[in-house]
Chains A and B, each alone.
Chain A
Amino acid sequence: MKSKRNKLIYNLVTFGLVIAAYLVLSYMVQNKLISRSLRGQLIPICSWIVMAVSLNLVVGISGELCLGHAGFMSIGAFSGILISGYLLNAFQFENAELRLLIAIVFGGIMAGILGVLIGIPVLRLRGDYLAIVTLAFGEIIKNVMNCIYVSVEGRHLNFSFINNEIEGVRLLNGPNGAVAVKTISTFTAGFLLILFTLIVVLNLINSHTGRAIMAIRDNRIAAESMGVPVTRYKMIAFVTSAVLAGMAGALYGLNMATLVPTKFSFNESINVLVFVVLGGIGNTLGSIISATALTILPEKLRFLQSYRMLVYAVVLIVVMLLTNNALVKSFVSNLTARLRKNQYKEGLSA
């Protein structure tokens, strides 16, 4: 069972790297070995990793294009903020960890419901309709969030589309978004969410559900002829991805004191897609690494001021060229072949 062992090794490396990174980083945070700006980025990095891994499930494993992943993140973020603020204001629910857990689960459920609603009509079609519809969905969510006002009054939640119509403690304030959020996200929570995501995604891929999803990607007609219900499995991939994106959103939202709806624009959706493509479509570990690197990179390039995004783009192009270059590829494969040979020799001498 060579391929099974390779898969196991791949999974172990993925989990191992994430756990090791967490241990090192939390040690560094405790001993103040880490710069302030990087420390502030740890939780956003966690949520972008979850975003990238979940989008990879749709783009890489299911082979559909989703251009509205930020929309699910937005839903997750604002529903997370809402439920957290509601619990705090209406019930004086002070336990931050439990509140964060409830917010993340609730954010995931809300995003999942919207995923189902979008998936029912769209995933029956063949072709790139999912890309078109999710693109529109992301914009619709952004604009709806832009004019929604929610406040909590005693134990009541007041919703309105008009400012100044509602009383009580404001949770969502139209274009100003969520204001005065009690930030309760922690790095540990982000790490646990990444672990949860990895367990769900990797175990899903290596079960019969995942195989059916990949079969549909490779050849839809053949999969149908084998009796695989296509719409159902596309739906499973899409909704799972939406739920995880909603959870990432809740983590992200509860890390910010203020959060405006326009934050989750089309640009962010494309950004997550860049993480996925750069990390290698269908490659979970690649998504994690590229999400981390590409979140830190723009911050590290701040000293370049207005040339920052230019350099970011150039870096992206260079990485793409290098990873597709035959010379570089053969060099890497030679290197791994030599490593393998050494392993073989060690295996012989042992």
Chain B
Amino acid sequence: MSEPIKRRAGTKMVPYPSQSIVPERDLGKQPVLETRHLGIEFGGLKAVDDFNLIIGRTEIAGLIGPNGAGKTTVFNLLTKVYEPTHGTVLINGRDTKGLSITQASHLGIARTFQNIRLFNQMTVEENVRIGLHNQIKYDMFTGILRLPRYWKQERRQHQQALDLLSIFDMQGLADVQAGSLPYGAQRRLEIVRALATNPCLLLLDEPAAGMNPHETEELMENIAKIRDQFQIAILLIEHDMSLVMGVCEGICVLNFGKIIAKGTADEIQNNPVVIEAYLGKRKEN
């Protein structure tokens, strides 16, 4: 674990080529994610259009916007659930054109889902172990024959899974069936599972949905803690503005598939275009 990075309050955002900003500490390093004119059309409907975003190596970024703005569609484009019709997505500088969801995950992108997608019939620990899947180095026959390698790797994996669960104090739930967890715990488990894939960019789709204010605050601290501990970039979609403004360094506002504003929390809060998108236009008297 390295030095904790100072939170948003002290982060100085600096301009980055092609109309983006990244935290000053990430300047000069390859951005973890870069999209260029990204867009997708569904039968003539432009769900996302000309989406340009750069995320620094250790940045916590937010993606906000009114309902139906295309936020989740952006996530699906980044993780290759949809193949974009326009533009490119670069993860660690590598073009993801034509890659499958699995291959995109191998490049170091991990996500959680808006409507939780856990492996419901499996235990909490097994869910995390699926995240660890690609770090396992034994083949099917070693597993069937139960060679020493199997036991060694299984033990290590068990420990790794418990360590990851301890981020959210969930070690005690390791043997519980994932489908029977309460809603908030399911959301946390999804984050742990995504972290287990050892990503460099973590996408969180409404992590605080259905959580009470106390839980949201805890989540906020944990998001910052995860970034400090794993030194990864996090991009989150969230409707809870206290969370977004509290933890995100750069914020990007989406409306009708287009970016309408980018900036720090203060800039976004005072941006008239953003206020209009959320609250509507003031009626002229």
- Report A's interface with B, CB cutoff 8 A: 1-4, 199-200, 203-204, 206-212, 214-215, 217-219, 221-230, 236
Contacts and interface: CB of A to CB of B under 8 A. Distances in A.
B129 A227 contact: no
Contacts of A230: 102
B51 interface: no
Contact of A227 (B119, B121, B197): B197
A222 B118 contact: yes
A167 to B, nearest CB: 44
A209 B101 CA distance: 19
A204 B79 contact: no
A218 B119 contact: yes
Interface of B: 79, 81, 100-102, 105-106, 110-111, 113, 117-123, 125-126, 129-131, 133-134, 136, 138, 140, 142-146, 150, 153-154, 157, 175, 193-194, 196-197
A2 B123 CA distance: 11
A221 B117 contact: yes
5 contacts: A210-B143, A212-B130, A215-B130, A225-B194, A226-B105
Given A212-B133, A215-B119, A215-B130, A224 B144 contact: no
Question: Which 6 interchain pairs have the tightest Cβ spacing?
Answer: A207-B143, A227-B105, A218-B119, A224-B101, A222-B117, A3-B175
Given A207-B144, A207-B150, A223-B130, A229 B117 contact: no
Contacts of A236: 140
A45 to B, nearest CB: 25
A217 B105 CA distance: 19
A219 B106 CA distance: 18
A218 B105 contact: no
A226 B197 contact: yes
Contact of B113 (A2, A204, A211, A222): A222
A221 B196 CA distance: 17
A223 B121 CA distance: 13
A211 B102 contact: no
A2 B197 CA distance: 25
Contact of B102 (A207, A218, A228): A228
B206 to A, nearest CB: 16
Given A209-B140, A214-B121, A221 B133 contact: no
A117 B51 CA distance: 43
Nearest to B140: A209
B144 A227 contact: no
A226 B150 CA distance: 21
A3 B143 contact: no
Given A227-B105, A229-B102, A204 B143 contact: yes
A211 B129 contact: yes
Contacts of A227: 102, 105-106, 133-134, 197
A158 to B, nearest CB: 37
A211 B138 CA distance: 13
Contacts of B111: 225
Contacts of A229: 102
Contacts of B145: 203
Contact of A211 (B79, B130, B144, B193): B130
Given A209-B143, A212-B133, 9 more contacts: A208-B133, A208-B153, A212-B130, A215-B122, A218-B118, A218-B119, A224-B101, A228-B130, A229-B102
A93 B110 CA distance: 58
Given A1-B175, A3-B175, A199 B119 contact: no
Contact of A3 (B120, B121, B123, B134): B123
A256 B119 CA distance: 45
A200 B144 contact: yes
A207 B150 CA distance: 8
A200 B136 CA distance: 20
A228 B140 contact: no
Contacts of A200: 144
Contacts of B125: 3
A215 to B, nearest CB: 5
Contact of B146 (A203, A212, A214): A203
A218 B121 contact: yes
A204 B140 contact: yes
- Identify which of B111, B140, B157 gathers the most chain A CB atoms within 10 Å of its CB: B140
Given A211-B126, A227-B133, A227-B197, A203 B144 contact: yes
A231 to B, nearest CB: 9
B119 A219 contact: yes
Contact of B140 (A4, A207, A221): A207
Contacts of B122: 211, 214-215, 218
Contacts of A203: 143-146
Contacts of A3: 123, 125, 175
Contacts of A217: 121
A200 B196 CA distance: 28
Nearest to B117: A222
Contacts of A4: 175
Given A3-B175, A226-B105, A208 B129 contact: yes
Nearest to B193: A226
Contact of A208 (B105, B136, B146): B136
B130 A221 contact: no
Given A211-B126, A219-B117, A199 B133 contact: no
A214 B119 contact: yes
B186 to A, nearest CB: 12
